[in-house]
Each structure stands twice: as structure tokens, then as C-alpha cells.
Amino acid sequence: KLGVTEAQMIKACCLAVRSHKSSGYIKESGSEDTVFAFGGSWADQDFYSHEPFGEITIDPSLFPSLKSVGNNEPAKINQGFFRRFQALLLQTLQAEVEKAIKKAKPIIFTGHSSGGPVAILAAVWYLEKYTRSSGDPCKCLTFGSPLVG
């Protein structure tokens, strides 16, 4: 068991695909849960960086537990995915997540294609920032997602 119902999977997939038409993400708050869906992008800057391999070191203030295995240094991730997540976080995502937390319903992050890594980063950020104090873990469902780092 994954702790996710079939209805939640279908809803997450539909919202992730629908979010391709949005600029950033869509939020749907229902009676059972709140879903943040991140769509893929057709803009090459969301995938491609002019740096070798498009890698950057993760911001340890946002992700203190993400470390490289073996050397315990901050992990490296795809620059395009991180920049996209960071921009959404600064614009509206953090405030919308905080509103959702107050509703005390499960939170699901989902994404399709290049929205998948953004959903993963959002879920890890949520776990880092809120789970320790609230005790409420989130769920993350991705569909056709490339690697984050």
C-alpha cells in the first residue's frame, strides 16, 4: 500500500496534465485534500543550463537534509528545475501551502514531465519546513518525471 487511493492518483494525474496550461501550478482544494499540480514546460530554460550538466548546489537553507552520499556536502540538482521551484516558492507557493496547512487536510504535490521534479522539490521542502512541527507528512505523485539531480 502506498497510502494513496486510486481516486487520489487519478485526480493527481488529471491535475498534473491540466496544469500544463497554467503559468506555474494549479491548486485544487477539495473536501478530502489539497493538491498542488505542476505542469511540464516547453521553455528550454526550464531544462537546459549553459553550465556543464546543468547542475547547481542545492540551497541548504531550503533543503538542509539533501546531501551528497559519501561526502555529506549539499547535493547537486538540475539548475532549471531548482530555479523554477525557487521562483514559484517566492511568488505564491509558500503562502498557498501555509493556507492549505491551516485547513488540516492532506496535501498532495503532483507533476507531469518537467513538473515532476518541481513537485518533488516542493514535497521535500514541505517535509523539511513543516513536518517536524506539524507532524503531517505530504504525498508526492509524479508522472513521466525526469531526474531531479
Q: What is the pLDDT of residue 122?
A: 98
Instruction: Kindly report, residue by residue over 19-74, the tens digit of the pLDDT.
Output: 988 878 999 998 889 999 999 876 665 555 566 568 899 999 999 999 988 888 99
pLDDT at 131 (0 to 100): 74
pTM (two decimals): 0.89
The pLDDT of residue 1 is: 63
State the pLDDT at residue 43. Answer: 63
Mean per-residue pLDDT, 112-120: 95
C-alpha cell, 134: 506539524
**DSSP assignments along 52-88, one per residue:** GGGEEE--TTT-TT-B-TTT-PBPEEEHHHHHHHHHH
Query: What are the residue boundaries of the structural domains of the chain, listed by start?
Result: 6-143
6-143: CATH, from 3.40.50.1820, 3.40.50.720, 3.40.50.2000, 3.40.140.10:
3.40.50.1820
pLDDT value, residue 26: 96
* HSE toward the beta carbon, residue 98, CA cutoff 13 A: 7
* Banded model confidence at residue 146, pLDDT cuts 50, 70, 90: confident
pLDDT digits (tens, 9 = 90+) for 69-94: 888 899 999 888 999 999 999 999 99
